[in-house]
Amino acid sequence: MKKVAKETQIVHGIRTGVTNTLDLVAPIHMTTAFQFKNADHGAGLFSGKDEGYIYSRLSNPTLSLLQEKMAVLEGGEDSIATSSGMSAIASAALTLAKPGDNFISCTTIYGGTFALFTQRFKDLKIEARLIPPSSCRTAKEIEKLLDKKTKFLYMETPANPTLDIIDIEMWAGVAKKHNIPLIVDNTFATPYLQNPLHLGADIIVHSATKYISGHADIIGGIIVGTKKMMNQIKEEYVHDFGPTMSPFNAWLFLRGIKTLAVRMERHSINALKIAKWLEAHPKVAKVYYPGLASHEGHQIAQKQMKYFGGMLSFEVTGGIKAGKAVMDNVQICTLAVSLGDCDTLIQHPASMTHSTYPKEARENIGITDGLIRLSVGIESADDIIADLENTF
Ligand SMILES: Cc1ncc(COP(=O)(O)O)c(C=O)c1O
């Protein structure tokens, strides 16, 4: 078929022939196991001689549709749908690094990922070598941390919650030079706004819970990469540890994705308007949004993103006390964690999503007690502005 635009891919996906009933919308295959035609057929599927479905922890047609769609959108060969973003990250990382190994990650990442890397992996004798945003900008700084036991590089861009922008191409260059994979968490940008594989990254992870769903009702994760790498992650981790997505959730993700392009466009338009308003407000001390010319990563964001996304953070003058007044008095924004929903969500990283960081470590990377994170929804931006103004 003729190559089509991303907006069309997002709506249509591709047809796999996993169903021959000509459904307009893929059915949900709610089944644990699949019948074998006879004993030889079952044995052939188990040995890998034949292709087909055996058991839904291993594969399922509804998951296949979602996996194909995400692979197409990210420009990868294959993908794996998992039970959560955390299980996607853990599955990829633990396939690549074993006890005694290390990896290099930007320090500014989701608080759950930070806990996984610095606490759980430490228990497994896998060392996370963290690199602060100020040192993330040159190959030399990254290479200082590299040795023979370094098994992968890891980044989030834009990063949660300070919206740091990391140069994917530069990091991919370091990864290629040292023959190790680069993993990028593409949750904030989504494949509509940013395609790290096209910039040289090797593996994409997503908390699909966020924009891929878009409706705040399901938890899930996605890993994208080469067929070889996805097979390795499935065989060495997913099949045995079992963090598989449920077919019902896969169906809801397929439904949510259809509006990804229009949602991301609206999130981005709204966020830019709100960020500009915040930046001009006398009661706002700082705004972090990559779409602002004042943002440190603005130029790199322009290079690697289509629009700047729906996430922003800010500090009000008056520190945490004034920040609490904002969070306690909003009426249209909802005080809740998570992000990427149609509704605008507001939260406090220091005491909520990033409370896993030691105080000094989080303050060093700009996650101050006064920082407030906003996941800008698709409502009227003017209503969100009026809601915030009311609390200042
Ligand atoms: C950037 C990022 N990556 C990963 C995760 C973890 O995803 P999940 O909550 O789906 O396990 C989150 C959760 O907030 C996140 O913000």
Distance 273 CA to ligand 1 centre (A): 25
Q: Write down the catalytic residue from 185, 202, 341, 387.
A: 185
In this structure, which topology does domain 261-391 adopt according to CATH? Aspartate Aminotransferase, domain 1 (3.90.1150)
Name the maximum alpha-carbon separation found in the chain. Answer: 74
Q: Which two tokens stand for residue 320?
A: 């945490």
Rounded Cα–Cα distance for residues 215 and 206 (Å): 16
Q: What is the pTM of this model?
A: 0.96
- Index of the ligand 1 atom closest to the CA of residue 353: 14
Rounded Cα–Cα distance for residues 364 and 345 (Å): 25
Yes or no: say if 313 and 163 are a contact pair by the CB < 8 Å rule. yes
Distance 102 CA to ligand 1 centre (A): 22
Of 209, 234, 192, 189, which is closest to residue 78 (Cα–Cα)?
Answer: 234
Give the domain ranges of the chain. Answer: 6-257, 261-391
Rounded Cα–Cα distance for residues 340 and 185 (Å): 14
Distance 21 CA to ligand 1 centre (A): 36
> Which residue owns the Cα nearest ligand 1 atom 9?
85
The letter for the amino acid at 185 is: D
Of 381, 376, 63, which is closest to residue 247 (Cα–Cα)?
Answer: 63
Q: Which stretches of the chain drop beneath a pLDDT of 50?
A: none
Q: Which two tokens stand for residue 371?
A: 């920082």
> Which residue owns the Cα nearest ligand 1 atom 14?
338
Please report, for residues 89, 184, 248, 251, the alpha-carbon distance to residue 106 in angstroms, rounded to integers and kept in the order given.
14, 11, 34, 33
pLDDT at 380: 98
pLDDT at 16: 56
Q: Is the CB of 150 within 6 Å of ligand 1?
A: no
Q: Is the CB of 110 within 6 Å of ligand 1?
A: yes
Token look-up 């169906």 returns 251
57 is catalytic: yes
> Which residue owns the Cα nearest ligand 1 atom 15?
110
- Index of the ligand 1 atom closest to the CA of residue 188: 1
Q: Dihedral through CA 313, CA 315, CA 316, CA 322, nearest 10?
A: 100
pLDDT, tens digit (0-9, with 9 covering 90-100), for 143-182: 999 999 999 999 999 999 999 999 999 999 999 999 999 9
> Which residue owns the Cα nearest ligand 1 atom 6?
85
Of 340, 372, 379, which is closest to residue 353 (Cα–Cα)?
Answer: 372
Q: With b meaning 16 or more CB within 10 Å and e meaning fewer, what string describes 120-132? A: ebeeeebbbbbbe
Of 298, 258, 291, which is closest to residue 276 (Cα–Cα)?
Answer: 291
What phi and psi, each to the nearest 5 degrees, are found at residue 350?
A: -60, -35
Yes or no: say if 175 and 291 are a contact pair by the CB < 8 Å rule. no
In the chain, alpha helices (H): 6-12, 39-47, 61-74, 85-96, 111-115, 121-123, 139-144, 168-177, 190-193, 227-233, 239-241, 247-257, 260-280, 298-304, 319-329, 359-364, 381-391
Rounded Cα–Cα distance for residues 92 and 90 (Å): 6
Yes or no: say if 151 and 96 are a contact pair by the CB < 8 Å rule. yes
Q: Write down the catalytic residue from 53, 69, 78, 110.
A: 110
Give the H/E segment covering residue 287. Answer: strand 284-288
Q: Which two tokens stand for residue 4?
A: 């089509």
pLDDT, tens digit (0-9, with 9 covering 90-100), for 45-86: 999 999 999 999 999 999 999 999 999 999 999 999 999 999
Q: Which of 84, 207, 367, 374 to mutate to test the pocket of ligand 1 (most atoms within 8 A of CB)?
A: 207
In this structure, which topology does domain 6-257 adopt according to CATH? Aspartate Aminotransferase; domain 2 (3.40.640)
Q: How many CA atoms lie within 13 A of 309 on its CB side?
A: 35
Yes or no: say if 313 and 161 are a contact pair by the CB < 8 Å rule. yes
